Structure 1
Amino acid sequence: MTTYHLRVNGRDHAVDTDPDTPLLYVLRNDLQLNGAKFGCGLGQCGACTVTLGGESVMSCLVPVSVVGTRAVGTVEGLGTTKAPGVLQQAFIAEQAAQCGYCIAGMMMRAESLLAKNPKPTDAEIRQHMMPNLCRCGTHMRILRAVRRAADALPAKGGKA
């Protein structure tokens, strides 16, 4: 066991775990942040997507030992039930969630896009969101939600 110091959603945490433990397991089991889901465990579905240093990553593939000082972002850091963030509001308005299993990962992938490119084209949104799968087929609603969030952001961008 090794102690890792992680910054998750703006808060510091110390976690004792094995170096090869996937970040997903640390988030869910140690920090009780259950937004990121275990989907395939192979990095093929995106249900576990979080941001790491501003980049979207599939947390089932990232060993905690490689996180280092990079900040981790999860869907829980975007807002709350009482005060949802811009991206969460857009997903609600577009009714983008059906079963809801993929949505946290979709939001985090969209968050990383909008942080870098606050006014993406539809083609850029599609390209960026492609690695994440939605088995319920709400892809068009998800795309509309990302577009809605982009339209709601200030011209210079900001946290979605």
Structure 2
Amino acid sequence: TLAELKEKFRKELEEAKAAAADEAVADEALRKAVENAEIVELPHEMVHDEVHRQMEHYLNDMRRNGISPEMYYQITGTTEADLHKMMEKDADVRTKTNLVLEQIVKEEGIEATDEDVANEVKELAAQYGMEEDAVRAAVSVDMLKNDISMKKALAVITDSAKEA
């Protein structure tokens, strides 16, 4: 009925607003944690690796959308060096963020369980419309465990910010 449809939309809107608010709290809490972190100097190699990772991630996204790196460069009128410079701009912040999250994982003894991995595989399969076995074949367990641990570390920061 129309009333049920309205109620469904109202609930979905409330859930979306709540998720956006939670994400804003998490982003701000992480920004403050990174800002307050006492990292004297970022190792150049780590920043370089982050730039490379981000470039690969970006280009893989393009490939999934049917756009080769060459086609991307031609369409945008840029070069690989231009993309590298663009990725370098935020690499310091991303590297520092990763270091902060890794330190929280270490200090809090955060680990990703097999159950966490199974749940993450289910979520990814649903998100990308894939079979769970295909997700397991495409993504390493170590990568999933790392991502899960980082999410848990972010939750620690967010929970701490909410309590403050």
- The higher relative CO (CA closer than 8 Å, separation ≥ 6) is in 2
* Structure possessing the higher radius of gyration over alpha carbons: 2
Fold conserved between structures, TM > 0.5? no
Q: Which has the higher helix share?
A: 2
TM-score of the superposed pair, with normalisation by structure 2 = 0.28
Q: Which has the higher strand share?
A: 1
